[in-house]
Structure 1
Amino acid sequence: MKFDGDFGDHHNIVSFDIETTHYDPTKGETVAIGVGQHEIGSSASEAQYRIFARENPATADERDLVERAVEYINRLNGDTLVSYNGIEFDMDFLSERCAQFDPAPGPPRLHETGRHIDLFAGRKEACGPNDKWPSLEECLDSYDLPVPRTVWNGSPLDNTRFGTEFAPAFLDALADGDEQEISRFRGVLDHYLTTDLEANIALYCADQGLPFDPVHLRLHGEFQT
């Protein structure tokens, strides 16, 4: 779904995405957080991506994960935070999860100060009552942008499979402490989240009519763990 976005004049955009074991924060937990940064007008190859992941399965490590990611976002000094369904899902999920921590990590300053552009929100509002809400992949395809694939253990990885299969297996690997196995899981995480982060940036630019020639969206990853 194309969207005529008028998001204002931003130079340094920060892309944001989380991955969880379940869409309901009372039943799931945060497993990884991806952060990207792109300066408008620069080559897509110069965009930077960093993936923060759990380092052990303990509850305290989930709090530390959120703190590390938020501190990093705040240091980037971006103009705006860009996500796909990041306001209604990602930030709400983190808020509910963090409410149980003491001390509770706060949200990124860009979100707290209203400088968060959710690329899904306008599309959802434009849909009729019987319309299917567009996925991020469908939005990319509408602009003829590459649609990435992360194949894990023989099947494409999506949000549902991530939560029900991949994330629990990753947390089990952390509990076992097998560094080689953990490294293999991290390879999947890095590919899956990096492509989502670049997809956010590519879609933001497409909505604004700005040039962006993606790099990671063209890379299909196949992994075994």
Structure 2
Amino acid sequence: MPHRWTIGFDADDTLWHNERFFRSTQSRFVELLRDHAGEDHLRERLLAAERRNLGRYGFGVKGFVLSMIETAIEVSEARVPAGAIAEIMALGREMLAHPIELLPGAEEAIGALGDRARLVLITKGDLLDQERKLAQSGLGEAFEAVEIVSDKTAPVYASIFARHAIRPERAVMVGNSLKSDVIPVIEAGGWGVHVPSETVWALEQAEAPKTHPRFRRIETLAALPAMVANLGD
């Protein structure tokens, strides 16, 4: 079926909850370091460390944990006790074991589209953690291909299109991040569908390309099958 649509799905905060666990852990981190710095200062320093470390550690829990440890050392002027570092590492292990909770409409949308489109999972982050979450989600068998990448940019999407013989004009990428799931895939020639999530990481925020003809926005994944049908043949 050379002319069928290819639907790419982001994973975290598109198919299942994720950012809420980072927010909860960050709150516990702030509480743990309350004797060394105020909440706003800690959050600012942690975000700065995350931004600074993306090129070193990439996206995901492990990089987040390393950024928390680095921030703890910095704000305490290297006086943070070893016990606090151990607690930060325990927070990370807890994040890596959290159960998967699918977002509303995810399973139904994938079930409805599976027979009439090629489904591909395109997500970024730690390889082992993303593989764990996909396995626990019960959705793995629905995807013809799975791409776990270090970042999502227009060249990365173009490479995925070429590797899987996907025509960009027949490719739709669905996700909660305008910066990673929508804007770069449009730049690569595909369609970007924004599904807003309850929380968005500060480093994933961007302006929506509202006037672009290949941009769409839906409130939940339940609306995706009808939206794809309206794109036409």
TM-score, with normalisation over the residues of structure 1? 0.31
Larger Rg: 2
Q: Which is strand-richer, 1 or 2?
A: 1
Q: Compare the two structures and name the one with the higher helix fraction.
A: 2
Task: Pick 1 or 2: higher relative contact order, CA cutoff 8 A, min separation 6.
Answer: 1
Q: TM-score, normalised by structure 2?
A: 0.30
